Chains A and B, each alone.
Chain A
Amino acid sequence: MEQTAIDLTGVVKRFGAVRALDGVTLGIGPGVTGLLGPNGAGKTTMMRIAATVLAPDSGTVRLLDRDPTDADDRVEIRRRLGYLPQEPGFYQRFTAFEFVDYVAILKEMSDRRARHEEVRRVLEVAGLGDVANRKVKALSGGMRRRLAFAQALLRDPGLLLLDEPTAGLDPEQRLRFRELVSNLPNRPAVLLSTHMTEDVTALCERVIVVAGGTVRFDGSPDALAATARGRVWVAETADARAVLSWRMGDGRHRHIGDPPAGAELTTPTVDDAYLLMVGGARDGREAAA
């Protein structure tokens, strides 16, 4: 197993005037790494570069210890890659089985029997064994998300890229997803992009916060929560000076930022730290509302 599955050095990617990635340098190894950031932060751009479907404008990329700009290396990388795109896109007339089988064929599984076994296995793992013969267009949103996840598991990839895998899943499915990802065999490198802090807390050994195309934080979820230490308060009333504040279920107010009058300090969560890091501005306020 490679020590670094994704190795980015000074990676820049522009779309017109927008710098989606603005000089990103990081290395990602085995285990589950969460990529956390608001919409438009550059998460999907990073995922696409790691999936070999997008080339950076400048900087160097190494994937699974190989060079994706080299044609032979690129094929080798793609052989060991599992990719769940943010918008996977399906052939609606295919059944769930046919769709995964299609991807398995593209992943060079030409022996029908072995391929069908593998397709059945990943459908089963994703909890879709019972709907294998149902057409994609007749599947619910959550089922389609799981179908996209199932194909990413084909051939036990060494690098698994999951772009917002939990979007559209109900709480039970999300728990099941976490169980699956944490029990993957051979401990592959998993990069999981999300804007749900619960996923990160529950699942990731390491979390990278991106915003505005740059890396804002890189460390453990606990270390991320600790960045907000001394800045999260609970008070009886609201206070306009807070970076963020909201009324909690028990009627009291949670404040992030400077202390309001009569507030008591409380233990920060990953949520608090994340909001303090990327929010601070209006975006965060909307996200918390």
Chain B
Amino acid sequence: MSWHVQAPTIDAYISGRIDDAAAFSVEAHVLACSQCREALSARDDTDRHERIWSALRDEIDQPRIGIAERTLIAVGIRDDIARLLVTTPVLRASWLGAVVATFAFAVLTSRVGGHDPLPFLALAPLIPLAGVAAAFGKPADPAWELGLSTPTGGFTLMLIRSTAVLAVSVVLAALATVALPEAGWSAAAWLLPSLALTVLTLVASSTRLSTMTSASVVGGSWLAVVAVADRLSDQPLAGFGSGAQLAFAAITAMAVVILMARHTSFERPTRI
């Protein structure tokens, strides 16, 4: 071998500060020259190699990701949050279908029943309740026990999934509202009750009640209150007026405070 790679060139090569033509030349040379190969490997930066390998592996060995997850990432949701979200049943096609069908039924009932939005307003807040009941806890989540043994499988996971349920329900309910008969302000009167009932369900499930039982109790009470308000008052939509809306806002705020104060109960090792 008539020439050898000079020390400054080796430095430049090792640190990556070398142009492509020179790099190819070094690589072609060391294949044939054991002396330069040794000089190069003696100066090798293992950390940098490891970083490059890791990046390369990550690039070529990308795991296949499902459509739902890809969609969530495309709209700007962080990939780890997206992974936790797709385990929420309400984000699956079968669930979305059921929710859409329920809203369609509610809208239809409201149109048929003398253009009265009451059935829709009474039913819409129950949708996120059902979603939350199916999103969290022992019967609904197959990997629930495993999740509970991790640092964030309790409250954090519950919040992420409940937010997903609420977001999906609110968007679909808003779409359904468009199909409602002319009702003015009252077309949006389901929003605050939905929030209030969902947070109340979470508060109830921070006790010994399961999420499923909590949702049933809160949902049942809601229907009873709506029915009684409708019976007692001669005003239409008595349970959804501005006074009632203020009350729902107050209930939501209070329930959020209680929920935050009780957050460790979602991580306590008694819920099995």
Interface residue ranges, A against B (CB under 8 Å): 48-49, 51-55, 68, 71, 74-75, 78-79, 81, 83, 85, 87-93, 95, 97-99, 101-103, 105-110, 112-113, 115-117, 120, 132-133, 151
- Smallest beta-carbon distance A91→chain B, Å: 5
- Judged by a CB distance under 8 angstroms, whether B84 is at the interface is yes
17 contacts between A and B (CB under 8 A): A48-B272, A49-B269, A53-B149, A71-B264, A85-B149, A88-B143, A89-B144, A91-B143, A93-B66, A95-B63, A97-B63, A98-B66, A101-B83, A105-B84, A106-B147, A107-B152, A116-B58
Given contacts A83-B149, A98-B83, A106-B150, contact A54 B142 (CB under 8 A): no
Interface string of B50-75 (1 = CB under 8 A from A): 00001101100101111000000000
Interface residue ranges, B against A (CB under 8 Å): 54-55, 57-58, 61, 63-66, 79-80, 83-84, 87, 141-153, 157, 264, 267-270, 272
Residue of B nearest to A115 (CB): B80
A116–B58 CA distance with the chains assembled, in angstroms: 7
Q: In the bound complex, do residue A113 and residue B54 qualify as a contact, i.e. CB atoms below 8 Å apart?
A: yes
Q: In the bound complex, do residue A117 and residue B54 qualify as a contact, i.e. CB atoms below 8 Å apart?
A: yes
A68–B58 CA distance with the chains assembled, in angstroms: 37
Query: Chain A residues with Cβ under 8 A from B264's Cβ?
Result: 71
Given contacts A102-B83, A105-B80, contact A113 B58 (CB under 8 A): yes
Residue of B nearest to A50 (CB): B149
A270–B64 CA distance with the chains assembled, in angstroms: 46
Query: Chain B residues with Cβ under 8 A from A109's Cβ?
Result: 80
A81–B146 CA distance with the chains assembled, in angstroms: 11
Closest 9 CB pairs of A and B: A89-B142, A106-B150, A97-B63, A71-B264, A83-B149, A105-B80, A78-B151, A51-B149, A55-B270
A99–B86 CA distance with the chains assembled, in angstroms: 11
Residue of A nearest to B59 (CB): A113
Q: In the bound complex, do residue B157 and residue A113 qualify as a contact, i.e. CB atoms below 8 Å apart?
A: no
Q: Which of A53, A78, A83, A93 has the most CB of B within 10 A?
A: A53
Q: In the bound complex, do residue B145 and residue A74 qualify as a contact, i.e. CB atoms below 8 Å apart?
A: no
Query: Chain B residues with Cβ under 8 A from A115's Cβ?
Result: 80
